[in-house]
Structure 1
Amino acid sequence: MFGNSQLPKGQAPAAGTLHGAVQSLPQAATLREVRRQRRRQIRSARNAIEIRAEAPAEVVQSRVAEAIELRSASPADSAELEAARASARASLAQQGASEWVDRFGRQQRKGADIVVQALEREGCSTVFAYPGGASLEIHQALTRSNTVRNILCRHEQGEIFAAEGWGKVTGDVGVCIATSGPGATNLVTGLADALLDSVPMVAITGQVPRRMIGTDAFQETPIVEVTRQITKHNYLVMDVHDIPRIMKEAFYLARTGRPGPVLVDIPKDVQQSLAVPDWKTPMAIAGYMRRLPPPPLPSQLTAIVRALHEAKKPVLYVGGGCLNSWRELREFVSLTGIPVAQTLMGLGTFDATDPLSLHMLGMHGTVVANYAVDHADLLLAFGVRFDDRVTGKLEAFATRARIVHIDIDPAEINKNKEAHISVCSDMTPTLKLLNEAVARSPVDPSCYDDWRGEITEQQEKYPQSYPTRDDVIIPQEAVKVLHEETNGEAIITTGVGQHQMWAAQWYKFRGPRQWATSGGLGSMGFGLPSALGAAAAFDGKDGRPKKIVVDIDGDGSFMMNCQELATAYIEQLDIKMMILNNQHLGMVVQWEDRFYKANRAHTYLGRREAEYHLTGLPGDIYPDFVMMAKSCGVPGARIFKPEELRAGIRKMLDTPGPYLLDVMVPHIEHVLPMIPGGGSFKDIITTGDGRDTY
């Protein structure tokens, strides 16, 4: 991804500086004229730079370096910049920015109002914000907007997970706002989560007044420095006139390339300053635009098509980078007949009910998906990063295969696993071009019949299954029944743990963006607040259809952000919460059983004096989530027996508004299959629980 080192250092310069000059370069008919105009622009921009006494040395140095860079730039760079500007203008027009009316006219308004107006111009209809002293002005400005609503979560981590949930299920930018100090630092986990999962997000934080920065003022934290390594980019706004440009850049950076979170830190006195915004101020991120990956070369496409013709056992390994190109992916599969294995983040890019679907691969993926990758002679890795939870021992991963790796982020190419053919480009246009190339040189899907037959044998030998019991509810069964009762059409969010893996295994996603979970960072407490964001996005009020949103959660994860029950009730967000409650940190218990002789090391969450029945269920339940929900005004119920399961889920789905269903499940159930960390396909575990004493 594009790190901060690839963006302008220090405070980004305003219009009239070198960056502004680049944006306003007109096209010239000849190379000589281009160079002449560049020299004039450089001289003009250099004269316009105000190097104040307090300006940091690195800012001055960066501006000098920019002048050198401009001198050496080619006409092709100018064309690329113009294309990027055209793309940005088209994006704004598509969002209705051209029809946007400034309610202040040409009157001055506070910087906080400019921030909110910038949100309106970006098409933002909902923000998740918790007020404080340093962000109070922005909240006051929100009350003056007729188009941007605020959902008041009960904790800043809840609000940023809600914004991330919005981003995951819509593909558009999620927005959250927090105050300075502890409010800002409470966003840190969510920023890191969004960066690892490539979620478009803009986080706005209040900051102490400019004159107090660096004085250890009340509720001051250097949040830009704190978050520098866990954001795609961040800003400290020191001039109210920079707000329109910076907000435009923040949304552009969040959306384009490999999506990610951008933080905008705004001192309180900047929020209070008066100005007339110039919405036409151009963006000043020419360096970033030049680094956006180009379309694939014809020679690269030819090499991939040749590999398809030569392969006997190809398999697709598809990740979250294909969420926006799922149509092109499915066309590619229909043209080639190649089986598809999906990562945790890629679920829904390919229809799980399709005969060519191998479902999820990796640590808790299906046997057949892992088998196919292990035995393939061609691995088509589309929109993936060869994460350790997928590959296990890298040296033993896909050892028989030629690897084709396509990804938009140059940092991911050859980072973990070296590819034989690598393409750094946007997945959607790349797959379109690849499909055209395949159509010109067709691949006969029947040539892979033997390979598909081999895969079918493995599916029959190692089907997805779980043990059944008639005395307790098995968690896998709960997810399966939920899938049946929702016809596979719900948006599913989860926390992190066993319940997350069971949801991934047993809810069969047919389309993209039905699935919101914390994949890369693995943040417990993600499920409930992300469900709030998903429900807010699909509540039928923003032109999107109303959709069922279900948080499949564990008791450990749910407890970490249970305060958002109050948000669900107050906002009347139609979310359903199904807690698979085993009174334990289930995934850690599973590892204790497998690798630590079942020695319990602080993984039991209930009362110490509670007795366990032979069923594996506790005789005492703590905490009482149903009572907790009811104290917040949310109805709920608890079920224990298999015969209660379907009726309980049906009631949950039929009850208007938020509803909590506490499903008691045994703590001795394991997520299988399982490849131990650092292991390979030959180490896969399909049965048992690893214990020899009970």
Structure 2
Amino acid sequence: MTAFATAAQTGTAPAKTGARLVVEALEREGVRHVFGYPGGAIMPVYDALPGSSLQHILVRHEQAAAFAADAYARVTGEPGVCLATSGPGASNLITGIANAFMDCVPMVAITGQVPRSLMGTDAFQELDVFGLTLPIVKHSFLARSPEEIPGIFAEAFALAKSGRPGPVLIDLPKDVTQAEAALPPAGPPAVPESPAMPAAAALRAAEAMIEAAERPVLYIGGGIAIAGAEAQLRAFHARTGLPAVATLKGIGALATDTPGYLGMLGMHGTRAANLAVDGCDLLICAGARFDDRATGRLDSFASRANVIHIDGDPAEISKLRRADCALAGDVGAILEALHPARPDIDPWREQCAHNAGLHAMRYDAPGTGVFAPALLKALSERAGDDLIVSCDVGQHQMWVAQHCRFVRPQAHLTSAGLGAMGYGIPAGVGALFAEPDATVITVTGDGSVMMNIQELATLRRYRLPLKIVLLDNSQLGLVRQWQELFYEENFSEVDLYDNPDFAEIARAFGIEAFTLDRRADVPAAIERLLVTSGPILCHVRIDPRENVWPLVPPGKSNAEMMEA
């Protein structure tokens, strides 16, 4: 045998670099899109990308890669993948990783690392991203050899989407991705067992509680979408006819125009939703975690009610509010198994419906300027069932939650737990790669848009038809509102008087744009947004004094809401 014998002649597998194994592992997991930004330590992986089945989306900031992967995962239900180099590339991912952790979004974040021989030497662009991200990931991996890569990736994807989903970090030293290894096929990863169903006695106890209640309320959280339990929730709601409320992440689990749905509860929830929870005698919590933004002062939240808590994560049950009936396990299966007799609660339903009518949102604001809630309501209704809204953080986030029509939870993309400004446009990018035929609208503000405005270049590069509604009040609106109400109008560092002309900026990026400042022009603006085939930005000037109402003041019960 000569020194030049082929792998086929010797019976051995051809050697592959660690970088090639990374790409093959992603392909094996069915990954189609990777959001990233190259650099030195991750360069071997980028060298292996051409010729693969993966489409890499080049963002203009690593934070945008993580946000886009986050939105992609929320829409598809599969882990989103983001890729960055070591040092600042890795640290720029951290906000997006934290966002996914807080909102239970499956994500695999891949970072380059300096060669193993340089680790711990303060080498150029060395950063302990493994240590930095420990509190905000489900698990972290540091590859020590190319042979480990297939198993690491298989386990990472299994962990990201099993149980309570979340982000997993894989850190790849450069010499590991450059080195060659001949490997046997990777075996299947050990997947955590699915949660068991509650005992039949617990299910029967819950049914008895529902049948006996006089004023029950169904309290819906983001766990419904995480479990893929929308159909089971809707069937349960139809069987029982319970008045229903939702958290910010729970919006869309029931279509927002469903009879008996009272809207979002909590700090900026509807008065009807908060009054229903305050007056209920039974709270059926399905996939929610009693977050402070939803409960207000916890000791006054549904204070006269027994609690049935349904959740896929047993750790959430009785963590903040003691459950009188705990149902941990597969949320969809639990809802499907619950078949109580339809409770005789017509007076309660009528009272909730009366409050919903009495305290319905109003859209007849005085003046001739654009009233943002009315614009958002009309836009979402006109967009139809294919709508996906990716929203930034601020007053506009609350207006979207209060006023937009949603028919599924995957249509409402928002940074709920972390409240990260700059989420909107990158999330719109991720949503369009997840569902290219959807009508994707980013709602942002003049503060939030500046956090990741560079992603207009990504829209242009990939010709993504994102519709951007930029609400500009020349203020950090939600901070200004709090300073007005709770800090004696000491307006500190919230005036954005020197904002640029955002329409001109968009046009400089090659994106169609126009400005809207008159209410009479709203219908035409909505049509222009929806019929334009490519990306378009509508710069909407609104009253800087406009506030989000209603509002639960800090430290107060949800029943003590402030109005305009």
1:469-506 Cα shifts (integer Å, max 9, x gaps): 34210111110121132125310011100000001111
* Alignment check: 8 A CA contact 1:649 1:661 kept: no
1:325-362 Cα shifts (integer Å, max 9, x gaps): 00000010111111110110011100111111111111
1:247-300 Cα shifts (integer Å, max 9, x gaps): 011111111101100000010011011123433334357xxx26x532211111
* Residue in 2 that maps onto 1:342: 246
Matches within 5 A, 1:146-185: 147-185=53-91
Q: Tell me the amino acid that sits aligned with residue 113 of structure 1.
A: R
1:119-158 Cα shifts (integer Å, max 9, x gaps): 111111000010000111111111130x210110000001
* Residue in 1 that maps onto 2:342: 444
* Residue in 1 that maps onto 2:3: none
Q: Is the partner of 2:168 in helix, strand or coil?
A: strand
Distance in 2 (CA, whole Å) between partners of 1:144 and 1:275 is: 20
Q: Tell me the amino acid that sits aligned with residue 175 of structure 2.
A: D
Q: How many equivalent residue pairs?
A: 551
Q: Is the partner of 1:660 in helix, strand or coil?
A: strand
Please say if 1:333 is aligned against 2:225: no
* Alignment check: 8 A CA contact 1:257 1:426 kept: no
Please give the root-mean-square deviation of Cα atoms over the aligned residues, in Å.
1.3
* Residue in 2 that maps onto 1:408: 312
* Residue in 2 that maps onto 1:57: none
* Residue in 1 that maps onto 2:293: 389
* Alignment check: 8 A CA contact 2:249 2:409 kept: no
* Residue in 2 that maps onto 1:497: 394
Distance in 1 (CA, whole Å) between partners of 2:146 and 2:46 is: 17
* Residue in 2 that maps onto 1:684: 561
* Residue in 2 that maps onto 1:32: none
Distance in 1 (CA, whole Å) between partners of 2:475 and 2:385 is: 28
* Residue in 2 that maps onto 1:556: 447
Residue of structure 2 aligned with 1:643, choices 512, 515, 520: 520
Q: Tell me the amino acid that sits aligned with residue 64 of structure 2.
A: G
Percent identical pairs in the alignment equals: 44
* Alignment check: 8 A CA contact 2:60 2:458 kept: yes
Matches within 5 A, 1:238-317: 238-283=144-189, 289=192, 293-317=195-219
* Residue in 2 that maps onto 1:352: 256
Residue of structure 2 aligned with 1:516, choices 413, 417, 422: 413
Residue of structure 2 aligned with 1:673, choices 531, 544, 550: 550
Residue of structure 1 aligned with 2:352, choices 452, 455, 458: 455
1:554-610 Cα shifts (integer Å, max 9, x gaps): 110011000000001001111110001111000011111111222210001123xxx
Q: Is the partner of 2:148 in helix, strand or coil?
A: helix
Please say if 1:532 is aligned against 2:532: no
Please say if 1:484 is aligned against 2:381: yes
Distance in 1 (CA, whole Å) between partners of 2:348 and 2:304 is: 14
* Residue in 1 that maps onto 2:122: 216
* Residue in 2 that maps onto 1:197: 103
Q: Runs of 4+ in structure 1 displaced over 2 angstroms?
A: 276-285
* Alignment check: 8 A CA contact 2:155 2:189 kept: yes
Residue of structure 2 aligned with 1:206, choices 96, 106, 112: 112
Q: Tell me the amino acid that sits aligned with residue 221 of structure 1.
A: L
Q: Is the partner of 1:379 in helix, strand or coil?
A: strand
Distance in 1 (CA, whole Å) between partners of 2:562 and 2:83 is: 45
Distance in 2 (CA, whole Å) between partners of 1:270 and 1:513 is: 38
Please say if 1:133 is aligned against 2:35: no
TM-score, reference length from structure 1: 0.78
Residue of structure 2 aligned with 1:380, choices 278, 284, 287: 284
Instruction: Structure 2 unaligned segments of length 5 or more: list them.
Output: 1-11
* Alignment check: 8 A CA contact 1:493 1:516 kept: yes
* Alignment check: 8 A CA contact 2:113 2:171 kept: yes
Q: Tell me the amino acid that sits aligned with residue 331 of structure 2.
A: M
Please say if 1:595 is aligned against 2:486: yes
* Alignment check: 8 A CA contact 1:341 1:359 kept: yes
Distance in 2 (CA, whole Å) between partners of 1:280 and 1:569 is: 39
1:80-129 Cα shifts (integer Å, max 9, x gaps): xxxxxxxxxxxxxxxxxxxxxxxxx9322111111111111111100001
1:197-220 Cα shifts (integer Å, max 9, x gaps): 000100000001111111111100
* Residue in 2 that maps onto 1:188: 94
Q: Tell me the amino acid that sits aligned with residue 318 of structure 2.
A: N
Cα pair distance change 1:277/1:467, threshold 3 Å: farther
Shift of 1:315: 0.6
Q: Is the partner of 1:578 in helix, strand or coil?
A: strand
Kindly indicate whether structure 1 or structure 2 has the higher relative contact order, using CA contacts under 8 Å at least 6 residues apart: 2
Q: Is the partner of 2:415 in helix, strand or coil?
A: coil
* Alignment check: 8 A CA contact 1:173 1:251 kept: yes
Q: Tell me the amino acid that sits aligned with residue 342 of structure 2.
A: D
* Alignment check: 8 A CA contact 1:164 1:201 kept: yes
Distance in 2 (CA, whole Å) between partners of 1:377 and 1:642 is: 44
* Residue in 2 that maps onto 1:371: 275
Distance in 1 (CA, whole Å) between partners of 2:250 and 2:126 is: 39
Please say if 1:664 is aligned against 2:532: no
Distance in 2 (CA, whole Å) between partners of 1:669 and 1:467 is: 14
Q: Is the partner of 2:171 in helix, strand or coil?
A: strand
* Alignment check: 8 A CA contact 2:100 2:106 kept: yes
TM-score, reference length from structure 2: 0.96
Instruction: Give the greater-gyration-radius structure (CA).
Output: 1
